[in-house]
Amino acid sequence: MSKTAASALKERDHANPVGAITTFILPALLVYAAFTALPVLRTFYNSTHLIVPNKPSEWVGFTHYTALWSDQIFWKAVWNTLTWAAVAPVLEVVIATLLALCLYAKVPFSRVLRVAWFTPVLMSYVVVGILWMWIYNYEWGALNTMLRAIGLGALAQPWLGHPDTALASLIAVTTWMWTGFNMVVILAAMSSLPSEVLEAAELDNCGWFAKLWYVILPLIRPTLLNLVVLSFIGKMKVFDLVWVTTQGNPLWSTETVSTYVYKRAFQWSTFDLGYPSTIAVIWFVIVLAGVLGLTFLFRQKDRLEY
Amino acid sequence: MAAQTRTRFSPAGLRMAALMLFIALYTAYSAGPFVWVASMSLRTTSEIAANPYALPWPLHFDKFASAWLDSNYDTYFFNSVVIVLSAVALLTVIGGMAAHCFARYTFRFKGLLYFLIFSTIIFPPQVTVIGLFQIMVEYGLYNNRLGLVLVYVSIQLPVTIYILEAFFARIPKDLFEAARMDGYSEWAIFWKISLPVALPAISTTVILNTILLWNEFLYAVVLITEDDKRTLPLGVLRFLGDQLEDVGMIATGLMIAIVPVVLIYVFFSERLIQGMTAGAVK
């Protein structure tokens, strides 16, 4: 049964019958191979070919890669997506920690509040996108109506229609969606803290802020960092929300890598699937580097502290 | 609460008031949009034009009937239900089998397979979507509901295996040894022991997958273009295009998409939260 057992024994290994193992794992492997592995390999293959309908694909070497290097829109999309992926996780996790503390301190109505804060994450981005387009509407949108009501009508503007505010407005939407989710995870982490540690802190006559800063936060740090990485990965994928609301407008100010890939592959009449595949491959490398970098950074800090 | 803050103006009282203000503001930000769209869904567009923020009176429940009947909503809804339920059923069986396999047996390349399947969690979808589009066209699965079901199974497979595997691994080994002594086949062990014992974890994955796939948009928009095969998210967007000025009607359409999700949440909130947060807590 042990892994070191000689392969000769494998056939007589009753605890690990090869036939049963194959049967159990095969369906999952087939689905994985056909609908995940093959498409990924296909995309990598595409990235060095010119692929237009009704013609055999043509090897173009690294032409797409060099073209990508001087593609202004691509770099704009990368910048927007990275901004999103840098700002949103911090906003989400910080606000979520504050909210979780409120519920942890057992404010009244915490059950209702938890439901109200968590619900946005359950909605489809299509629903969320349309809803927030109305909220940001210039004439009758909720945001401008409120601004006018409190005498700040001068600030009212078409939030999604102006290049300076469009991206920030969309970041506010993803924050609205995901903060509640982060809050629930953080609350779960706080609730599972060993009560002896917290009681010890109280015995030491530790103030609530000191208790939070020196006891609670360090203890839930792994969860917080995990959430930052998860949120980062999520924001690097953002597509639906942008597609429903702005489609990258105005002036590419909300263009993300996902929407640009989609446009180049299925919308613009260039009919070439090679170039968008190149974008996808480069983006895959950037995301991977980002995730590895973050993980490494957080590990490094952990090592320094202990 | 208000009484509490008024009775004492101590620093603690002030802190409480600030806390309450923060909570009230955040709750308005978080729940306000839903209240607004729910009220608009029961009002006509001319009522909304007169005042977008008035209370819904009289209640126009008939708008739900007309949204449903006049604009293919029944087709979209039916497609979503069929596609999501088939994908979730397949996921439960295929994912359950694989998870059982990973949790119970040792075999060659186990670590490698595990790594391959899980690395897809961080893949940006762009890297699969173009190749997938070409492959689906070649398989004849483009614009095909079965094709979308299979794609949905593949995108939710890693997280399903992840949640189930963690649960299966905690089932005591003695249970399986005993079953083996009793002459149960490997398949019977999976079907009659693992699955029933893991029912809580399975219901978690079922609910999680249902919600995520119900809302899925990117793969649907790439792989489905024919109107009678659209899922609900695509239908809602199409509805938006058709009714551009008819805000009241669109709000009704949005509510039709929101209500099933909210119902699932109301009945299964604990399981759902468990599923959604499973990956985040270590």
Domain ranges (residues) in chain A: 1-40, 70-305
CATH code where residue B101 lies? 1.10.3720.10
Name which of B101, B218, B254 is nearest A25 (Cβ-Cβ).
B101
Structure confidence at residue B88 (pLDDT)? 96
Structure confidence at residue B2 (pLDDT)? 46
Please tell me if residue B19 touches chain A, with a CB cutoff of 8 Å.
yes
Reference B78, options B189, B183, B235, B203; nearest CA is B235
Average pLDDT over residues B160-179: 87
Preceding amide of A53 cis, omega within 30: no
**AA identity, residue A225:** L
Superfamily of domain A70-305: MetI-like (1.10.3720.10)
Identify the domain containing residue B142 by its residue range: 67-277
Which chain B residues are within 8 Å of A284, Cβ to Cβ?
123-124, 126-127
**AA identity, residue B198:** A
Structure confidence at residue A10 (pLDDT)? 47
| Whether A28 and B161 lie within 8 Å, measured CB to CB | yes
| Whether A24 and B132 lie within 8 Å, measured CB to CB | no
ipTM topping 0.90: no
C-alpha distance from B153 to closest chain A C-alpha (Å): 8
B14 in the same domain as B45:
yes
Average pLDDT over residues B39-45: 85
Q: Please name the residues in contact with A103: beta carbons below 8 A apart, sequence gap of 6 or more.
A: A110, A113, A114, A183, A187
B236 in the same domain as B178:
yes
* CA pseudo-torsion sign A53, A58, A59, A60: negative
Which tokens in the block code for residue A147?
């601004």
Share of residues in chain B with pLDDT > 90 (%): 23
Does residue B169 sit within a domain? Answer: yes
Spans of chain A below 70 pLDDT: 1-13, 300-306
Which tokens in the block code for residue B268?
């299964």
Which tokens in the block code for residue A282?
């480069």
Structure confidence at residue A301 (pLDDT)? 65
Does residue B211 sit within a domain? Answer: yes
Interhelix angle A166-191/B247-277, nearest 10 degrees? 40
B26 in the same domain as B84:
no
Which of B62, B82, B113 marks a domain boundary?
Answer: B62
B213 in the same domain as B155:
yes
Q: Are the CB atoms for A281 and A44 separated by under 8 Å?
A: yes
Please tell me if residue B29 touches chain A, with a CB cutoff of 8 Å.
yes
Reference A238, options B124, B211, B123, B157; nearest CA is B124
Q: Are the CB atoms for A229 and A291 separated by under 8 Å?
A: yes
Determine the Cα–Cα distance for residues B220 and B228; give it in Å rounded to an integer: 13
Q: How many domains does chain B have?
A: 2
Please tell me if residue A94 touches chain B, with a CB cutoff of 8 Å.
no
C-alpha distance from B238 to closest chain A C-alpha (Å): 11
Phi, psi for A208 (deg, rounded to 5): -65, -35
Which tokens in the block code for residue B202?
């399975």
| Whether A131 and B33 lie within 8 Å, measured CB to CB | yes
Average pLDDT over residues B207-224: 90
Assign A231 to helix, strand or coil.
helix
Longest Cα–Cα distance of chain B, Å, equals 76
Determine the Cα–Cα distance for residues A206 and B271; give it in Å rounded to an integer: 36
B26 in the same domain as B142:
no
Q: Are the CB atoms for B254 and A130 separated by under 8 Å?
A: yes
Structure confidence at residue A2 (pLDDT)? 47
